[in-house]
């Protein structure tokens, strides 16, 4: 496997490098960097394959997919995505229904690893395809009148990928199936459509994508005002109002069917009531103001690289542009019109409050900070692509092209020069099926109806057709004060004998509700799990202990 990957992603790009060097114009150093960055692109694919594979090890991967797959794979009947708040299964799905629809094709597979892998790949494609299309537009100079410079567009896209790959805030969103990826991709698509043109068809498609982005993740709601603002600045009030009218129609046209299909009350409970009932993490200790300040610091840190790249491009733009070029843009509106990526800066700023709110709540994780980083990074790589394609000075274009190449090479060198890292990445890819989900799937298939995996609802669903409570879904209900023991009992295996928690489980809340179980020690059939249980079926206790904070969403 290692040899194959080395050939595909290192040797072949290296072999192609001399041809690229020969065909590239510019300074010797610049041509060398462009040629070498092919290896960086190859390594990006290798690292992406690893990141997608390793995501299957994360409990949240399967937990997020379980309610989606249950829509079509339940037995004897399928499960609704948004379960009844008082009687239904407690899942971890507190997002909009759009990602569930977009990731649903993964349900055609029958094993947990295949489902998670295909969902992760789809999730990535939902983000990367719009990003790539955006770069292609930038590579042809936005208006479509020039010939597309594919190489520059791909260079920008590769730089985007390499800025995202080392950041956990982005890997969680891009490479792990969930609501963030589709939300980001749809938002980027909406901006790209407006950048491409302002005809009615563009406005309709852009508004549709924006509404779908909001129906993917609630924190995208403020994003709706980005396009009207941009249109107001560059086209005037009339076009902005026209867009608003289209947007309103899109909201109605998309929301009504979704509400009818998924059930308004249940959807409201999961998308609004549950998230709003989550307390803030650390609120009691330091107060809300400090929690927010701390989260803002984390956001700035997460976005540090993107901000630095943007600053550098700004510097190159202002210092190395020709004076004549600069003077042709007399007003802000003209400048914004010529630089449609600036929409993304507005989107980044506007997504800050939602991202911070998602991050500070108990259960919130760094992926919530990823929205801002995503928009800033995209803005940076698009601007660089634009400046390379429409050079304001030869020096600026050379510098930016080399800068992007250097960034790709520096980031891609990290795993290469980390002794043993590439072997580790390859081992994960080769043994992608060696994960807890597969172990619990085989166990549940061999012993249906007796084992419960609170952190792994997907294997039980695939093996038995039953969707059981997800650990964090139960925790969500306790935080919101809406959990009843009757509901807890209702969706546990009929003859519960074994309760298996991953050894490194974030929490064991359900275990606290089953006081009669005891630690049975390691089970050779369930490696990586701590097994609890007793010979006769276990019953929940009568009082509920309080839930504690954690992270994952």
Query: For residue 212, which phi and psi values (nearest 5 degrees)?
Result: -65, -35
Provide the minimum distance between the beta carbon of 28 and other proteins in the complex, in angstroms, as a whole number: 8
Cβ distance to other proteins smaller for residue 316 or 499: 316
Nearest to 549 by CA among 476, 462, 459: 476
Between 8 and 27, how does the x/- string for binding to other proteins read (CB under 8 A)?
-------------------x
Under the criterion CB under 8 A, does residue 298 sit at the interface with other proteins? yes
Considering only 75, 86, 146, 308, the residue that binds other proteins (CB under 8 A) is 308
Is the C-alpha dihedral spanning 30, 35, 41, 46 positive or negative?
negative
Neighbours of 504 (CB within 10 A): 10
Under the criterion CB under 8 A, does residue 551 sit at the interface with other proteins? no
Under the criterion CB under 8 A, does residue 30 sit at the interface with other proteins? yes
Under the criterion CB under 8 A, does residue 2 sit at the interface with other proteins? no
What is d(CA 437, CA 423) in angstroms, rounded to the nearest whole number?
23
Q: Which two tokens stand for residue 301?
A: 């840190």
Tell me if 463 sits within 8 A of 479, measured CB to CB.
no
Q: Is the peptide bond before 547 cis (omega within 30 degrees of 0)?
A: no
Between 417 and 436, how does the x/- string for binding to other proteins read (CB under 8 A)?
xxxx----------------
Cβ distance to other proteins smaller for residue 410 or 504: 410
Under the criterion CB under 8 A, does residue 311 sit at the interface with other proteins? yes
Provide the minimum distance between the beta carbon of 88 and other proteins in the complex, in angstroms, as a whole number: 38
Q: What is the DSSP string of 46-74?
A: HHHHHHHHHGGGSHHHHHHHHHHHHHHH-
Q: What is the DSSP string of 453-485?
A: -TT-HHHHHHHHS--PPPHHHHHHHHHHT---H
Burial class (CB in 10 A: 0-12, 13-18, 19+), 285: exposed
Under the criterion CB under 8 A, does residue 253 sit at the interface with other proteins? no
User: What does DSSP assign to residue 363?
Assistant: B
Under the criterion CB under 8 A, does residue 320 sit at the interface with other proteins? yes
Cβ distance to other proteins smaller for residue 48 or 399: 399
Cβ distance to other proteins smaller for residue 319 or 486: 319
* H or E segment to which residue 129 belongs: helix 112-139
Cβ distance to other proteins smaller for residue 98 or 295: 295
Considering only 315, 353, 484, 490, the residue that binds other proteins (CB under 8 A) is 315
Under the criterion CB under 8 A, does residue 297 sit at the interface with other proteins? yes
Count of residues of this chain found to bind other proteins when the rule CB under 8 A is applied: 38
Provide the minimum distance between the beta carbon of 319 and other proteins in the complex, in angstroms, as a whole number: 5
What is d(CA 469, CA 478) in angstroms, rounded to the nearest whole number?
13
Under the criterion CB under 8 A, does residue 398 sit at the interface with other proteins? yes
Under the criterion CB under 8 A, does residue 261 sit at the interface with other proteins? no
Under the criterion CB under 8 A, does residue 318 sit at the interface with other proteins? yes
Tell me if 348 sits within 8 A of 314, measured CB to CB.
no
Cβ distance to other proteins smaller for residue 342 or 398: 398
SS3 22: helix
CA atoms within 13 A on the CB side of 414: 12
Q: Per CB under 8 A, which region of 40-48, 187-195, 414-422, 494-502 contacts other proteins?
A: 414-422
Cβ distance to other proteins smaller for residue 457 or 550: 550
CA atoms within 13 A on the CB side of 63: 23
Under the criterion CB under 8 A, does residue 257 sit at the interface with other proteins? no
Under the criterion CB under 8 A, does residue 534 sit at the interface with other proteins? no
**Cα end-to-end distance, the chain, whole Å:** 33
Q: Summarize as ranges the residues that interact with other proteins (CB under 8 A).
A: 27-30, 33, 294, 296-298, 300-301, 304-305, 307-308, 311-312, 314-316, 318-320, 395, 398-399, 402-403, 406, 409-410, 413-414, 416-420
């Amino acid at each position: 496997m290692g040899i194959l990957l080395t050939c595909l992603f290192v040797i072949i790009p290296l072999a192609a490098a001399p041809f690229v060097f020969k065909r590239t114009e510019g300074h010797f150093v610049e041509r060398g960097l462009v040629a070498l960055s092919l290896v960086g692109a190859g390594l990006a694919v290798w690292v992406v394959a690893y990141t997608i594979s390793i995501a299957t090890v994360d409990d949240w991967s399967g937990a997020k997919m379980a309610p989606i797959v249950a829509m079509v794979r339940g037995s004897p009947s399928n499960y609704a995505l948004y379960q009844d708040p008082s009687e239904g299964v407690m899942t971890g799905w507190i997002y909009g229904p759009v990602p569930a629809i977009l990731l649903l094709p993964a349900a055609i597979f029958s094993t947990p690893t295949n489902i998670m892998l295909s969902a992760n790949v789809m999730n990535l494609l939902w983000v990367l395809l719009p990003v790539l299309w955006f770069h292609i537009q930038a590579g042809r100079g936005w208006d479509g009148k020039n010939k597309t410079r594919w190489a520059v567009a791909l260079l920008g896209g590769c730089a985007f990928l390499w800025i995202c790959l080392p950041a956990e805030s982005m890997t969680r969103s891009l490479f792990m199936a969930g609501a963030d990826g589709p939300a980001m991709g749809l938002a980027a698509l909406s901006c790209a459509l407006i950048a491409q043109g302002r005809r009615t068809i563009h406005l309709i498609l852009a508004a549709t994508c924006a509404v779908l982005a909001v129906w993917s993740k609630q924190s995208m709601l403020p994003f709706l005002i980005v396009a009207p603002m941009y249109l107001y600045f560059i086209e005037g009030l009339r076009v902005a109002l026209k867009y608003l009218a289209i947007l309103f129609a899109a909201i109605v046209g998309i929301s009504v069917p979704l509400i009818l299909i998924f059930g308004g009350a249940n959807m409201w409970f999961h998308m609004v009531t549950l998230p709003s009932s989550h307390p803030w993490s650390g609120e009691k200790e330091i107060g809300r103001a400090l929690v927010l300040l701390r989260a803002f610091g984390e956001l700035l840190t997460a976005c540090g690289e993107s901000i630095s790249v943007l600053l550098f491009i700004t510097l190159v733009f202002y210092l190395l542009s020709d004076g004549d070029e600069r003077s042709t843009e007399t007003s802000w509106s003209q400048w914004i019109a010529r630089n449609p990526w600036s929409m993304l800066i507005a989107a980044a700023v506007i997504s800050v409050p939602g991202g911070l709110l998602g991050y500070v709540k108990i259960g919130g994780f760094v992926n919530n900070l990823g929205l801002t980083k995503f928009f800033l990074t995209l803005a940076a790589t698009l601007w660089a692509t634009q400046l390379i394609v429409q050079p304001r000075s030869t020096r600026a274009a050379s510098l930016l092209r080399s800068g992007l190449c250097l960034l790709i090479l520096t980031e891609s060198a990290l795993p290469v020069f980390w002794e043993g890292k590439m072997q580790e990445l390859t081992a994960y890819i080769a043994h992608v099926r060696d994960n807890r989900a597969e172990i619990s799937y085989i166990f549940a298939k061999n012993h249906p109806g007796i084992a419960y995996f609170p952190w792994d609802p997907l294997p039980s669903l695939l093996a038995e057709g039953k969707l059981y409570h997800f650990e964090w879904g139960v925790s969500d209900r306790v935080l919101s004060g809406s959990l009843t023991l009757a509901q807890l009992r209702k969706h546990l295996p009929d003859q519960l004998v074994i309760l298996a928690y991953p050894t490194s489980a974030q929490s064991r809340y359900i275990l606290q509700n089953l006081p009669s179980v005891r630690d049975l020690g390691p089970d050779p059939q369930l490696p990586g799990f701590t097994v609890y249980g007793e010979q006769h079926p276990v019953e929940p206790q009568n009082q509920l202990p309080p839930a504690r904070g954690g992270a994952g969403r």
